[in-house]
Chain A
Amino acid sequence: MCEGRRNPILDLKGVAIDFGPGAFRLDSIDLSIGRGEVFGIIGPNGSGKTTLLRAMAGLLSPDRGTVSVDGQPLNRTSPSARARSIAYVPQEAALTFPFTVQEVVLMGRFPYLGCLGFEKESDIEVARWALEITETDHLKERIMGDLSGGERQRVILAMALAQEPAIVLLDEPTSFLDIKHQVNVHRLLVRLREERQLTVVSVLHDLTMASTWFDRLCLMADGKAKKVGPPADVIKYQLIKETYETEVYIDVNAVTGRPYIIPLPTRETMGPGGEKINHPRGDRRS
């Protein structure tokens, strides 16, 4: 990880985005993400996770500061050149017309084709590979609208991988997936990091998932990067409790060696050290 940061691929310097007076703003974010790093963005609803991800993707241009990829500022990169190095996987894609799965995955080759060009054999080869590694091969003839949410999410991931990006940005890539496919998607991303030096940046709600699979995490709060570091430094009782305003239980998973977290519904419970913790809201009521 540390080695990754010495070889940064994605650099954010003082990135700020304003959505008008009184509205949400992203506040001077400095981040440096290394090649081959698996980086997670966590934080409460409305804290700016997706905005940050969209700024990294070049979908939002910052009002101040710069986002650069391999030292090249994004706003001076052409859209198709950008699409060859960064893939962005939105939470959900619109489904207006009955495209088949294979057509959607082949769309990932768009930044590589000429203006009128048909896909070449090499493009088909890449799409085939993307279908296989995302386990969507058997769905290729199906229509997107007929798939389950989880299947669709994997097809959109396949489309992004067909872009053969150096960086893949994911917005909640596993929100509709069952645990098997959640694990498989993360295992796949880690494998692609090993095999292809793929850099992964992902927005996540599941903090245990974030802690288990990611090299480093960025905890967002009110448009600021409140804490950046390895999971052990970010998934901390006081920090999480304050940021999410929720009572939680945090311990280290003996199997993975990473912290895991359980949100607690009760008023009083035991902390990681075994001490009694008072639920802040409960106190006020009693």
Chain B
Amino acid sequence: MAATDLKTLTPRRWLIPLSILALLLILVSLIAFYMPVDPFAGLFGRISQPRTDDILFKVRLPRILAAAVVGGSLGACGVILQALLRNPLAYPHILGISGGAAVGGVAARIFGFSVIAAGGMTIPCGAAAAFGTALATTFFVYLTARNRGRLEPVTLILVGVVFNAFAGATILFLFAVADMREARGILFWMVGSLDFINIDLFRWAASIALIGVCSFIPLARSLNILTLGDEAAASLGVRVEKVRILAFVGTSLVVGAVVSFCGMIGFVGLIIPHLFRLLIGTDHRLLLPASFLGGAVFLVGADLISRVILFPTQLPVGIITAFCGGPFFIYLLKSHRRRTLNNV
């Protein structure tokens, strides 16, 4: 027999990259945690403000955790949606769920509902409304895209594009008729920002996001095969429609929770899957957890930059991700087109 050695995923090949990424995440988080309040104070000879435990544990820690959960969820959802829609240009906001969430969030903020208190917790009304509209949008997108009991990738993309356009128009309409005292805050939320963190909200959003992401893990192997086409997948024993519906509902819930929490942070869910496909290959059993950890590292880092780069002004982290993400994505496309897009 010829000396063929097949490279396949072994527990070791799986664990090593994930451990490296986990260590990287811890490292970036520690830097973000211990960064001086005014990082440039030393450079300009100003006296740095003293760090207090309050700032560290009540402001920074939730923010770092939030960035990790949000970045990770967006990275994982990007992987799932690219495989589900069989389209390398798919990203978490493509299905219109984010647009739906944004409409709810913007409306609640414009009409001035502030906080609802339930069960001893306070949830900002904007976030609750955003999640509510995200759920409603999920339901409508599903009903619209379903055709004879099947969810076709192309139909899903088209329906998503239409829902996003409709949501965009609705938001512009709300802006046009509303009193704009809060415009800046609303705009920052829409671009994607971690400035509006509330620990109760974080608990809710993070639980939904993490449960959702964990439910993706058993789908990873089926997704590998689903990218070869419905027929090939079905003949290998994949329950194509079941996997598709689970992936659609799962990503919609996670994206809805994340967007309600911190707005439409862009680019993480598009570039992280491509970056890791380039680094570690296409096998979703590894790509999915790696994109989760990688997305977390990326967003914790981007949030750190957004906090310090224009100190004392804080930029919405969505601006940083798009600034870094756009050019980086172009670079990936130009230099590694074959590895990333399969030369088609």
Enumerate chain A interface residues (CB-CB to B < 8 A): 54, 57-59, 78-84, 86-88, 90, 92-100, 102-104, 106-108, 110-111, 113, 115-116, 118-119, 123-124, 127-128, 131-132, 137, 140-141, 143-146, 156, 163
Contact = CB atoms under 8 A, between A and B. Distances in A.
B309 to A, nearest CB: 35
Contacts of B239: 79
B200 interface: no
Nearest to A86: B235
Given A118-B14, A143-B338, A144-B342, A96 B227 contact: yes
A54 B231 contact: yes
A164 to B, nearest CB: 12
Contact of A83 (B87, B235, B340, B342): B235
Interface stretch (B3-11, B37-45, B55-63): B3-11
B9 A119 contact: yes
B343 A111 contact: no
Interface residues of B, number: 43
B277 interface: yes
Contacts of B234: 59, 79
Contacts of B283: 99, 103
A203 to B, nearest CB: 13
A216 B119 CA distance: 73
A145 B228 contact: no
Contacts of A156: 232
Contacts of B225: 107, 110
A82 B277 contact: no
B51 interface: no
Contact of B8 (A54, A94, A118): A118
A179 B227 CA distance: 30
B232 A119 contact: no
B136 interface: no
Nearest to A146: B343
B235 A87 contact: yes
A92 B234 CA distance: 14
B245 to A, nearest CB: 15
Contacts of A95: 228, 342, 344
11 contacts: A59-B231, A79-B239, A84-B237, A90-B231, A95-B344, A96-B86, A97-B277, A99-B283, A99-B342, A106-B8, A113-B221
A98 B228 CA distance: 11
Contacts of B217: 116
